[in-house]
Each structure stands twice: as structure tokens, then as C-alpha cells.
Structure 1
């Protein structure tokens, strides 16, 4: 092909584009009409379902749907089982994972609590335990989950997932010079300490359920009506000054009102964000590279950004980004942010500014620990890896372990339920991280090493492509993540004799080889080996000190409001560490935005490369994958190392407690519990049917008992059942201390 043919080809491509765009707009309009008819049909079905003599089969015939579809809309029309017959498990409708949510750092999805006991206000310990026994002993799970339907998190066992060849195939480093070319730093890109201080933003805290608004200047109660964006902006700025630029919603979740009218929660959030605005207000477009990307449409913690004129800017955010307020009023939540700022200031984060989210705050605080002293190592900045290496880590380094282990791997009924959680766990895994450009270790290079060199390589910051063979007589949980079938990210093969290929960090590979039960066979196929450094140590040490200080204050303070405020602030510090580490992973950048419909509901032209994600009566929302940005703070090697070490520590880790006989640290983790007793993993928590007596020393990474029901349970098979037991287990444990 010569230059003339190339130019002609571009002309033809533009012609196809111009022909395709109006057809796509027509398709969008047609889809919108179909969506409205679906909503109309569903509403009519619900109305007809309220008739006393209505039957699901007749309505299904009239609607052109199946009986199952009708029952999903009108559960009362479900066929009634015979008295005493076992109830069928509920049908769980799983919505596709929101792309923004999927990119969030570790622990982005908040766990729903079980429905409260009507008598939960009672302080009678025996009565509370009796109620919990009655609720769980016969497997009578309360499957109602308030708020957003939880997306399925149950990782299927390989036996249920279909043949191994259906699994995702993880990328490999190309052989020879092409792959060797990946091992470089991005030219002109390094992490350096900023030479400016972040601007402070005035904050207000609003309970949209009660209308209570608190800011530095006072407290008032607002009439919010239906708590639309327009009503909130009008009411807040009738009382608070324009210097308030950030409104944290502490309760009420106004973006979820009317969610029953939408198929997905994200659509309800988008409709709320794009609702009518008061006169003079517009979606913010004067800050950021993409002028149209004013809002973050997230199903649980959205961010809306607006402006009035050229100078007044405001955000509406959820305080759930920082912590679960647990019913705290806005004044207590504001006090928590004040205590957070004071605690961070006290540990020598002298330029601390509380930013909009814990991830932004965490990265900013870390950036101010980068060495600047002339001659100090890395004083010129920490180099950013090549885009190829960052892409490889993005595809092959998972986050926290989330797994629900169900029968027949475990019994249908178990003798108890125990939850242990590693407190402030990630701080324990930030003492050593890979720095500089990694060295490639091929299979041949690894085989040529001495045994000591191989051991040192596995203990150093590293990331390995391995072929794994599980011992034939293995009867415990899986040790290494593997690409899961279908849309799931990772699962943990456990079947004796199985062989699979995956990527894993050095901490997990070491654990597999040296676990306390039986060594797994590991073959090194390729790998990345970094120089060991401590770029995160000073940052995490300060955060740990702030966390410990706030916890101690919460335990000793005589004022109940301040106790709660310090407790919430300590959880905010945990979020800063957790999500701060997640920001280093630098996922591909997803820009979201919205556009107003044209005359007659015409769908406007979307930005180049954008895809439609939602449509309402007034707006369309879109998103665009812009790939990896040239981010000077992109260090996925650090996030991957912390996540790998944390997953390994779920299985076996040294605690701060000492064995009285040997004087050595006591080991804890899933592999130190009986085979068949592990029921679930959730990032830093283990759920087991075996009693746990690990001593809690209060140090980061120690296991803390958070839930206990030492009586027989029905093993949870669904996430709804799991979260119900989780809530009941915590209630039972709290009741013991009454």
C-alpha cells in the first residue's frame, strides 16, 4: 500500500463512519422506545397482579412472557409449595458489573447488614442470643437485603465452571527482543514530590432523610422535598455560603429514590444526577481535561459536580466513600473529619488537606513523602514502568480474595460460624516494594540460578508466570489465583492433581511452595524481578500511627459523640491506606459524561470513541475508555505486591502473639484451621465453622474476632445468605459483651 492508497482508504472509512452514525442514532431512539414500552408493560403486570383472582399463566400469555418473568415482577403469583416442603432457593438476578465500580481499589463494594432485629434495642444478653439462635439454627435465613440488589460474588468451583479450556488465557511476555523491550521506564515520567499545597475546600454534611445540614458555620434543618439535585442546591446555598464546595451526604442516598423505575441502579443514579437544575446552575465543565465529564455515575457512591457562574463550584458526594456512618448524625460525621485531619497532622503530614475521596487523599499524602534531599536514592523520582508492563500487571494481578465455598466442598450444616478479620492489614505489607525497572527472569534464567538465588528471587518483590500442579491428596482450600471462566476475574483451584497456568506474586508463590500442609509443584515460566526498596514505608507508618491514635482515643474518650467520631475517623484512615494503594494500580482511564437530548428526544452525537450507557427522558450518559494515561504516580507493581502478600497472609501469616513454649510468633490463617472448615473469604476476613482462638495483639495484620455463633448453622449457598449470617454473627458476638 502506498500513500495514495492509504489516503483513499481513509476517505472510504470516513464515508462508512458518516453512513453509520445516523443509523446508530436511530437505533438508540428505537431502544429508548422499547425500554419505555417494557416499563409500561411491567407496570401493567404489577397492577393486574394485585387482582385477587389473578394467575401468572394468564398474565404471561397476555404479556408474551414466561411465567417465571411474571413471578419475578409479582412474587405473590408464585405457585405455593405444599406445607412442610422445602422452600426453593430464591432466584437472584445479577446485573452486569459496573465498569467504574470494577475499577475501584480493594474493598470497593460495601457489605449490606442484615435486617435489624425488632428487639435489637434490648440489652438482655440471653434474650439477644436466644433470638439469634432461633433465627439461624433451623436455617431460616432472612434473605431480604435492603437497598441495591447485591451482585453475585460466589466464585464457581472448577467442577461447575465447565472445561478448563473455557477459562480466560492470561497474557504472556513476548519471547526474545520484543518482550525484552517491555523492560524499560517511560521516558520523562517519574513520581516526584509536588511543589504546591492542595487547596482546601469548604465542606458541609447533609442527611437527606432528615434534612439536617452541618457546616463550619452552624447547623440547620432544610426542607428538601424529594431531595432532587435542584432542591438540594437551592436549600443548601440558601443557608450555607458559596465557599462550601463539597456536600457530603451522610444518609438518605437521594440518588436511589425512584430506583424501582429503572432496570439498573446505575441508570437511577444517572437520572438523578442529570435532573433539572436551578436557574444559573450548570454541570461543571471548567475543570479537568474533558469538559463534558462532570459527573461520576457510580451505583453506590456517585459524584456530581456543578457550577454557578464562573466562580462557584460544588460537589455532592457520599460519605460512604470514606466509611459506613452507622447511623451517625451529620454533626458526628463532621467531627470525624475534624479528628481525621488532626490525627494526620499529628503524625507529621504537615501539608495534609482532606480531599474529596480517600484515594485522592492517600495519593497526595504519599506524594509528599517522596525523597527530595540531593544525593538521596530516588531523589529524582520513582520511575514509571512502560505501558506494556503496566498493562501486563493490570491483566494479571488481582485484588482481594472473594470466595464463597459451598456444598459439597463443605457440609450442608456446620457446627458454628466464626468471622476473623485482619485489622489494617495492608499496612503490614508495605515495608518492601519493587523499585526501578524490573529485570526479566525467563524459565531458562531461573533454572540457571543456584538454589539460594532462586529462593532470594522468590522472596524479593516479584511477579511470576507459573505452571502449578496441586498435590494429588490435597484436601484444603486453593492457594493461587487462576483466571476464572466466563466473566469472573479469578478463582482458586483446589482439586488434587490439577495443573493450571497463572500469574502470581512472589509472596503467594512462596506460600504455595512452603505452605504448612504439603508443597505445591511450581514451574517458573517467566517473571519480573525488582530491586527491593521501601517507597511506601514512611507513608504507611504515619497512617498506622494515626490509626492507632484514633482507636486509642475512641476507647478512652468519655464523650459518646467523640468516641464515635474517632472510631469513624480511624476507619477513614484505613480507607486512605486501602484506596491509596489502589490508586497506584492505575486502571485504564474511563471518562463518563452526559448530554442533553435534542428537540423531540433526538439523541445527540456522542464524543469520538464513546459508547452509550444510559438514556432518560432528558439526557443520555456515555463512557469512553481512554487507556493508560501518562500518570506520574502509576505504580501497579506496588499495588500488585501488597495485594499478593495480603492474599498469602489470609492462608498463613505470623502474628504479634508469641508461642509460650517456643517463643516464636504464632501462625494464623486458613491453612491453620481444619480442612473443610473454611466457608468464605472476603479480602482480609476468613469465615469458618471451626472455633478460632488466635490472640489479637492490636497490631496491623492481626486477626480480630468480629462474629461468632457457636451453634449449628445451615451453610450459606448464596451471597444473600452469607451476608445474613455475617450480620447475625456480629450481633451475636456483640450480645456476648453486653
Structure 2
């Protein structure tokens, strides 16, 4: 480019600027008129945020920002709850409503598939075994004082306010079991679905009958269905894509990956095929639109059904061939069958995990009538106040702009460490006044029982380390971790984290107890399930290092990761989020947007379709146990801060599983202040390389990435993931 071309370009740019300015002014005026209209209509006593949102083309949260009275004032007691929202980390399992061309199921940690009437509970936080003397700063006020919102640092947007339990009799009514709803063992055997494994980049297809190489063109849905079913029998009902990610082929044409995926799923179909519209006992209809691990469901005639899914739901194949991936599924099934004789691998790890758990529900004893499902009010409260894994990037000026090194410390199979004790049954309420009347010993005992507390927290003066407790941040589902000395905030948190705040190795925080849910100790509805999964995981790991064939070691390694997904995403399904249904409809012939269901909002537009999303509220799920998921997440967040690295003290003669005990303290609070750069669910990123011994047991910290030289501190997710990748590659190279 020469100087003249550059000058001419600037002139063109100025012309465009002058054309855009009046349009921007017009747009701002229209938006202001729209907002005034929403505010006026919102004054109507029967106005509803979802109806206004649909009419205005906005999200519900945008409407509530304009008309605050339309927002929820407490946890939803009806079937739909828009403000009872917490983090969702991907897995959404559960039954869907009537079939639509595109749907999202209600999973909570990874996309799931067909969910029959199976049971699913969530493991509770594993609290520390020892019970030290009552910690400092455990206070409660006798009066029922109102909740005080967090004091916001200058320039920070106000946080959302978490719900509270109503005072008196109204709140006491929440503490009940949902009528005629309990988790009971299944009375049926799962149907087996035949699988095939396809790499859409190479065209290699593997199934039980052999291997073939297909010509897939651009790997559209039509090309895949045509090529696969010209090769394999119609009894194949599940096609796992192991490589190629065909749903991303046209991603460059769309602003969001979800839109690209929706367009791919909605592509033309071969003659005789249609989007699946019927539902069997364990079959869902319609598609699941997920940006990276979508699920497409189609049928030909009345009897042939098929799915195209991503194997990424189960594990990252890391370039493994379809043959190795299939062998991983074979070894996974064989290992699980040693513990569950009736095991069937379902479409997703979340569904498989939930189904396996249902087959450990006792038929005799105290819970022979089933594990009770909490009232919708308590489930809504837990949904709104229990976050998932800690995700935090710590940036300058809290840390230097350049740091001396970068280390990734990842907890191995972390959630398996926190499933031994679960908050089972209907809790008792512990009000502020009731808590204040207890002795210090009784207060400490409560914190070592499964519990969930509303607390007012004050960070001590002189605190110079990371934040310890999650607090609501601005925006739906967001959480952050206040760390400023002297700051006071109100939040809900599990007993495991409160114990860390009160008994951390630096200095205790002040915690005032405002309200709480307390369950009895020593209930273990998930122990058998998690113990069996840990045994299977150990078995597969042993073979992943000792088998004589490299491809088999690879398969065993992938199978072990699948077991981790079964437990991790199984816990997510127990949380039972409000169902979010996504659908798509074709554009009108003139290109205009068609009608979408009441209460839905537009989420994307392609050349041919628009997609919508609607909150369908809480279902009467007999396996909904958000109290279990909340407790596991709380315990895992606490262990990021302070835990003990395992030491091997023996081996079980019958199973070969190792016996472990507590070793050295580990976690972020056992590293220097200012050395922590990030948290990611079960991993710490730091400038310090600790010498914590690693025994390979669930919950132990493993050095997973290392850069032993000066680095620029990451300030965005993109920079963070670049360093994460480089650190892992460097450590792997060092090992070679």
C-alpha cells in the first residue's frame, strides 16, 4: 500500500463515519423509546418480564434491569425461576419437553442424551475427618437483622442480591420433602445402543463389524448419514465423531459457534430422513445445540433412529484413531461390568453416571422408601446460592506484570475425594437466634455436618492472600472471591469452606451466621457409587502404564478419563437446574422472523433459521438432589485453598486398591501470598513450584505444566490458555 492509497482509504472511512453517525443517533432514540415503553408497560400489575422480553427482543435480565419489580424477590416457589440462577458448567441432563427441531436438555455439567426414568443423586462434600476445637470469630446475632449487601470497592458494579429464607412460619414451610417424590432403584434394564466411531477429517469409520474409509465431502449431516448407512447396518444407533468437528466447518461465517452448530444440525437431509420426533422410554427427540459437543438426532421411517455425537463429551481423544477410541469404550465397559453386572454405556457420561448411581440405591434399611427430594423452594434456593468450580484469573496490579515462572497444579480425579458423606433427607433450619444460643462446641459440630449457610463475612485487616469465600458478582450466575482487607459481604456458602475461613493457616476471618440448612452427619448415599468408580479408575490407570501394547495403554488412559467424566458430570446432573429449552424455526419466506413461543427469547439467527431459548422451570425429577452437588462443589473449592496430599499406607489384598492416609498440607494458602495467578475448578496456577509428594490418589495435586522462566502475566482467557498449553507441552518435553 502506498501513501496515496492510504489517504484515499482514510477519506472513504470518513465518509462511512458520516453515514453511520445519523443511524447511530436514530438507533439510540429508538432504544430509548423502547426502554420507556417497557418501563410504562412494566407498571401494569400483571406484567411479566418474560412476555415483555419476548416482545422487545431482549433478555429477561435486560427487562428486569429496566423494571426491577419484575425480578424475583425470593427463590421461586412456582415452576419457573428466572432469578434462581447459578453457574452452569455444561452438563445438562434430564427429560425434555415436547420435541422441537433443536433442543437443549437440562443437564448441568456436560451435554447429555436420553435419560430414562433413572435415579440420580449428587455426592456431598467430604468434610474434614478431624474436628478441632471451635474456631474464632463464629458469631451470631440474636435479632433477625436484615441481610447487609456487600460493600463494593469504588468503581465496581453492584453485585446481585442472593435470596433469603422468609422469616417465621412462611420460611419453615420450605423445610419439607416434595410430596410423592423420592429417588428409588430402577425397575428396568437399559437398552443397549450399538455404536460406530467416525473421524470426519480422515473418513475412517470403525464399528463392531470392521473398519472402512468413507468419502464424506464437507461432512454435512446428509453426507455423513448417507455414507455411514451405506456401510453399516441400520442397527447402529449412535455415531461418535472422534475428530474433525464437522459442525465447525462454517464457523467463520457466524459470530458465535452455537449459530454455526445450529446451521449444521439444520442442514438438508437425505431422502427419507427427518429430525427425530418420537420418544421412547430412554430416547430424547430433537437436537442438543452445544458449541463444542452437540448432539444431533434423526430418524428414517418409524424404526430407524440415530444420533451423531462428539466423543469430547467423554474425554479429549488427543488425536487417537477411531480404533483406539472404540477400544477405550470396550475397556471402559469391561471395567465397569466388574462392579455393575447390568452396566450399559449411555450416550453421555452424565447419563451413564446417573444410571449407575440408581443401581446402588439400597432396597433395605432406612432409605428403603427412597431418598427424599427437597421442596421446590429449597431446591430453588440451592440453585441460586450454590456455585460450581472456582474460576478466577488474578491480574495486575494484584500480581506483577511479569512473573518469574508459571506452574499448573491439578487435582487428580478431584471430586471423587468429596463423595463420602452427603446431606441426606430434609435439613433442619438453623436461624441466627438458634445458632447464637449454642455453645462453641455445638457450633463447631454443626460446621462438620453437611450444611449450607447464609453468612456475613468480614475480611481481616492486613489480609494479603487470595479471597476465601465466593460472593455474588454483577451479572447472572457470576461469582467472585473478595480479598480486600476490611471488606464485608453477605453470601451463602457450604460448611467446608467456612471451616477454611475460620481455621486457615494465615489468620481467621470473621463470620456471622444469619441462617442455614443443616443435615445430620454420616449419611452416605453416594459412597458405594463413588467407591466403585474410584476402583474402576485405579484399575484402568494401572493398565494404562503396564500393558505391553502402546495403543492399548492409550485406550486404557482414555477409558480412565471417561470414568472421571462419569463421576464429574454425574454430580452435575444431580443439581437439576431449571430446564432451559432451545428450539429453532425457519425464517419466513420474506426473511422476517417468525413467531416464537411465549416466554422465549431470540438467541441466534442464521441464513435460514432463528434459535430461541426458554426457561421451563423445575421438573418433578425424582433424582433431583442439588444439596449433594452443592456440597461437593463447596468441598472442592475449599480443597483448592487447603487440604492434605495423600500418602500410601498399604494395599487392599482383595481388590488391589491402595489405602491412603493424610500427608503434607497442600493448596493455595500453603503457597506464598502473591504467588497465585489463577484457579480453574480443580487446578491452581502459581509462580511457586511446591514439593508436595504425589501418590496418584484422588484429590492429590499433580504438577501438570511448568515454565521455569520469566513470563508475562496473562490478563485474558486467551493469554491464560496459551500459557497453559505451553506449560503442559514444556513439562511433557522435559519428561522425554
Same-fold status (TM-score > 0.5): yes
Shorter-chain TM-score range: 0.7 to 0.9
The reply on whether 1:178 has 2:170 as its aligned counterpart is: yes
Q: In the alignment, what sits opposite 1:576?
A: 566
Q: Per-residue CA shift, 1:264-321, capped at 9, x if unaligned?
A: 1111111110011111111111017999960111111111111101011111111111
- For 1:324-473, list aligned pairs within 5 A: 324-346=316-338, 348-373=339-364, 376-473=365-462
The reply on whether 1:653 has 2:643 as its aligned counterpart is: yes
Contact 2:86 2:386 survives alignment (8 Å): no
- For 1:134-533, list aligned pairs within 5 A: 162-163=155-156, 166-287=158-279, 294-346=286-338, 348-373=339-364, 376-487=365-476, 489-532=478-521, 533=523
Higher helix share: 1
Partner SS state of residue 640, structure 2: helix
Contact 1:100 1:590 survives alignment (8 Å): no
Partner SS state of residue 396, structure 2: coil
Over 3 Å counting, the alpha-carbon distance change for 1:278 and 1:63 in structure 2 is: farther
RMSD (Å) for aligned C-alpha atoms: 2.7
Deviation at 1:607, TM superposition (A): 3.4
Partner SS state of residue 436, structure 1: coil
Partner SS state of residue 643, structure 1: helix
Contact 2:239 2:307 survives alignment (8 Å): yes
Over 3 Å counting, the alpha-carbon distance change for 1:291 and 1:64 in structure 2 is: farther
Partner SS state of residue 209, structure 1: coil
Work out the CA distance in 2 between the residues paired with 1:291 and 1:108: 17
Q: Per-residue CA shift, 1:187-235, capped at 9, x if unaligned?
A: 0000000010110101111111111111111111111111111111111
Over 3 Å counting, the alpha-carbon distance change for 1:565 and 1:664 in structure 2 is: closer
Q: Per-residue CA shift, 1:394-432, capped at 9, x if unaligned?
A: 110000001111111111222211111110111110000
Partner SS state of residue 656, structure 1: strand
Contact 2:88 2:388 survives alignment (8 Å): no
Work out the CA distance in 2 between the residues paired with 1:591 and 1:203: 27
Partner SS state of residue 568, structure 2: helix
Work out the CA distance in 1 between the residues paired with 2:525 and 2:346: 22
Q: In the alignment, what sits opposite 1:40?
A: none
Q: In the alignment, what sits opposite 1:34?
A: none
Deviation at 1:702, TM superposition (A): 0.7
Count how many residue pairs are aligned between Structure 1 and Structure 2: 608
Contact 1:435 1:531 survives alignment (8 Å): yes
Over 3 Å counting, the alpha-carbon distance change for 1:485 and 1:607 in structure 2 is: closer
- Counterpart among 685, 690, 693 of residue 691 in structure 2: 693
Partner SS state of residue 626, structure 1: strand
TM-score by length of 1: 0.79
Q: Per-residue CA shift, 1:5-56, capped at 9, x if unaligned?
A: xxxxxxxxxxxxxxxxxxxxxxxxxxxxxxxxxxxxxxxxxxx99x975876
Q: Per-residue CA shift, 1:149-173, capped at 9, x if unaligned?
A: xxxxxxxx99888346x11111101
* Unpaired runs of at least 5, structure 1: 1-47, 68-95, 110-156
Partner SS state of residue 437, structure 1: coil
Contact 1:194 1:368 survives alignment (8 Å): yes
- Counterpart among 600, 603, 607 of residue 610 in structure 1: 600
Q: In the alignment, what sits opposite 2:13?
A: 60
- For 1:28-47, list aligned pairs within 5 A: none
Contact 2:91 2:572 survives alignment (8 Å): no
Work out the CA distance in 2 between the residues paired with 1:713 and 1:470: 31
Work out the CA distance in 2 between the residues paired with 1:559 and 1:494: 50
- Counterpart among 544, 547, 551 of residue 554 in structure 1: 544
Q: In the alignment, what sits opposite 1:133?
A: none
Work out the CA distance in 1 between the residues paired with 2:565 and 2:534: 12
Work out the CA distance in 1 between the residues paired with 2:276 and 2:424: 38
Work out the CA distance in 2 between the residues paired with 1:350 and 1:277: 39
Over 3 Å counting, the alpha-carbon distance change for 1:635 and 1:498 in structure 2 is: same
Contact 1:427 1:577 survives alignment (8 Å): yes
Q: Per-residue CA shift, 1:678-706, capped at 9, x if unaligned?
A: 01111110111012110001111011111
The reply on whether 1:566 has 2:547 as its aligned counterpart is: no
Partner SS state of residue 477, structure 1: coil
Work out the CA distance in 2 between the residues paired with 1:306 and 1:55: 54
Deviation at 1:592, TM superposition (A): 2.0
Over 3 Å counting, the alpha-carbon distance change for 1:449 and 1:272 in structure 2 is: same
Contact 2:86 2:477 survives alignment (8 Å): no
Partner SS state of residue 360, structure 1: helix
Contact 1:418 1:692 survives alignment (8 Å): no
**Off by >6 Å, runs of 4+ in structure 1:** 96-101, 157-161, 288-292
Over 3 Å counting, the alpha-carbon distance change for 1:186 and 1:664 in structure 2 is: closer
Contact 2:91 2:569 survives alignment (8 Å): no
Q: In the alignment, what sits opposite 2:575?
A: 585
- For 1:111-150, list aligned pairs within 5 A: none
Q: In the alignment, what sits opposite 2:612?
A: 622
Over 3 Å counting, the alpha-carbon distance change for 1:217 and 1:100 in structure 2 is: farther
Partner SS state of residue 245, structure 1: strand
TM-score by length of 2: 0.79
Partner SS state of residue 193, structure 1: coil
Over 3 Å counting, the alpha-carbon distance change for 1:204 and 1:66 in structure 2 is: farther
- Counterpart among 702, 706, 727 of residue 725 in structure 2: 727
Deviation at 1:573, TM superposition (A): 0.3
Contact 2:259 2:604 survives alignment (8 Å): yes
Work out the CA distance in 2 between the residues paired with 1:724 and 1:485: 27
Partner SS state of residue 650, structure 1: helix
Q: Per-residue CA shift, 1:469-508, capped at 9, x if unaligned?
A: 0110111000000001235610000111111000000000
Partner SS state of residue 324, structure 1: coil
Work out the CA distance in 1 between the residues paired with 2:726 and 2:601: 43
Partner SS state of residue 647, structure 1: helix
Contact 1:293 1:592 survives alignment (8 Å): no
User: 575-584 vs 713-722, which deviates more?
Assistant: 713-722
* Unpaired runs of at least 5, structure 2: 21-61, 63-84, 93-106, 112-149, 650-660
Work out the CA distance in 2 between the residues paired with 1:261 and 1:54: 30
